[in-house]
A and B are shown apart, each in its own frame.
Chain A
Amino acid sequence: MSHALTEHFFRHSYGLLVATLCRQFGTDQLALIEDAVQSALVQAMQSWRKGPPDNPTAWLKRVARNCMLDHLRHQQVAYQAEAKLQIHLKNEASTAQSIDDESALNDDVLSLMFVVCHPALNQRAQIMMALKHLCGFSNEEIARGLLMSQEAIKKQLQRAASQLRELQLEFALPPANELTERLTAVHRILYMVFNEGYSSASAEQVIREDVCAEAARLTHLLATHSTGNADTHALLALMMLHAARLPARVDHDGNTLLLAEQDRRLWDHAVIREASQWLRASFPNTTSEARSGRYHWEAMIALLHSSTPTFQDTPWERIVSCYDTLIRLNDSPIYRVNRAIALSHIHGADQALAELERMDIENPYYPGLGCARAWLLERAGRTTEALRACQDLLASALAPHERRLMERRRDQLDK
């Protein structure tokens, strides 16, 4: 296409338009804003059949604003809204060419990011709001991604919107004294959104990759803005390092491949290089209190894997020490299980198994533990026990791709 409509233009415009209308009309109008944005996109889809206008973003913003005014008139509160809009338009006129001003647009999207990650909403709702309003996924796509019914998604989104309405939030970046805390929440949600894409149970591959790309795009926006901090940089590096290895993660039949089985030539080494620069940039700030450290060390582990040419060359000692740091920062069964696996490559599977047995894991249903145990038993040559562990796992609730992986292991053991 000769015009400046990149592949995901409509989807990206969705978040942008929601953000702009939120600034113009307030977050309490979210439900109407959603309708107005949808109407504007429908009109664009039909009116641009001969080719989009010279400034598609400005066109969409104008149409979306008009739709919003139409909706409001319908609700007979137009008078107030128009008064509000007039004030706003005056402000906008004084800040020249703001309709094209990319940094103003970015501020709107970032403000929206802080709104949907507001601590008053529960985490699930925050993720849905982010997928819907920031990333422009449809309810149907979100339903497929989160394995929920469209009806449930709709209800949760409506409830979240009415909660936001009650809060009467200012549509702006958080004040300096709240920034660090609010930013931590935004990071957590961006990372969860990314993980929904990266490891979500059964959503289709295409949607999963889109979700990852959207989370990374928003993180990049935050990382290149003055609001972002060292944690943002590390989080971006982490997402890029995972995304760079996505192409090698499944085989032709869609089976998940283990790290040792992956063809490392399929990794995107340009992305890995760029990620390592972001990670390096995030480290000098070691004294900053804003650093939780979690993303730094997870990214460091990902980088150690990504920059090693073959599985045999993996620097396991360094990886174990990264996990030690992570456990010190935040003790979690996921880190402990992964540390045990790394340890098995240095001291053998038996010692790693002993380590797992010693672990007092609160959540016995964490499937990663069972997978790791089965795999370590197999490596230790305790085939009967390994087979048993596989069968136990297969009898429990597993995501489809995990199930396929375990079935493959079981069949190999059963030979």
Chain B
Amino acid sequence: MSQFMFIYRDSQDPSALSPEEMQADMETWVSWINQAVEAGWMTQPGEALEPGNAATVRKRGVTDGPMIESKEVVGGFSIVEAQDLDAATKLAQSCPAVASGGCVEVRAVMVFPDND
């Protein structure tokens, strides 16, 4: 089994949602993450990231806010276990971020061979 990082990118501006829609969105996430943890393939559900509290550091200086080049904002991350990238990608397809027009970046966590 290998480890993968899911990086959730939300495309919609959450502040445009009605309270009802926010609640529905949250409930979808809670049940998705709970199911994933119960099924065993999500080993660390990770943390949500504060939407506004962000900066980007570059050689030419620091700018306010997250990287605005991409329209999607990273909303959170998790660590999952899967056989290979294909399997991890399949798991990511059921993520609510995908259904709501955002995306999940799936990255393999690099593991160096043990020396001893």
A residues whose Cβ falls under 8 Å from a Cβ of B: 1, 5, 7-11, 13-14, 38-39, 41-52, 136-138, 140-141, 210
Contact = CB atoms under 8 A, between A and B. Distances in A.
B76 A8 contact: no
Interface of B: 10, 14-15, 17-20, 22-23, 25-27, 29-31, 33-34, 45, 48-52, 75-76
Contact of A43 (B29, B34, B50): B50
Contacts of A43: 50-51
Contact of A10 (B22, B30, B33, B34): B22
A210 B31 CA distance: 24
A45 B76 contact: no
Nearest to A3: B30
A46 B97 CA distance: 11
Given A42-B22, A46-B51, A52-B30, 8 more contacts: A10-B22, A11-B19, A42-B15, A43-B50, A45-B26, A46-B14, A136-B19, A210-B20
Nearest to A67: B52
B17 to A, nearest CB: 8
A10 B19 CA distance: 5
B95 to A, nearest CB: 11
- Top 5 nearest A-B pairs (CB, nearest first) are A138-B18, A49-B29, A10-B23, A10-B19, A11-B19
Nearest to B46: A50
Nearest to A137: B18
A14 B19 contact: yes
Contacts of B33: 49-51
Contacts of A8: 20, 23
Contacts of A9: 23
Contacts, number: 77
A197 to B, nearest CB: 15
Main secondary structure of the interface of A (DSSP, over half): helix
A91 B25 CA distance: 37
Given A1-B27, A47-B48, A41 B34 contact: no
Given A42-B14, A42-B51, A43-B50, A49 B26 contact: yes
A45 B8 CA distance: 14
A10 B20 contact: yes
Contacts of A47: 48
13 contacts: A1-B30, A9-B23, A10-B20, A10-B22, A41-B22, A45-B17, A46-B49, A46-B51, A46-B75, A49-B76, A50-B48, A51-B30, A137-B18
Contacts of B52: 39
B113 to A, nearest CB: 33
Contacts of A44: 22, 26
Listed residue (B23, B33, B50, B51) with the most chain A CB atoms within 10 angstroms of its CB: B23
B49 to A, nearest CB: 8
A66 to B, nearest CB: 11
A5 B48 contact: no
Given A8-B20, A13-B19, A49 B14 contact: no
A187 to B, nearest CB: 25
Contact of A49 (B15, B18, B48): B48
Nearest to A14: B19
A5 B34 CA distance: 16
B4 to A, nearest CB: 18
Contacts of A51: 30, 33-34
A14 B19 CA distance: 7
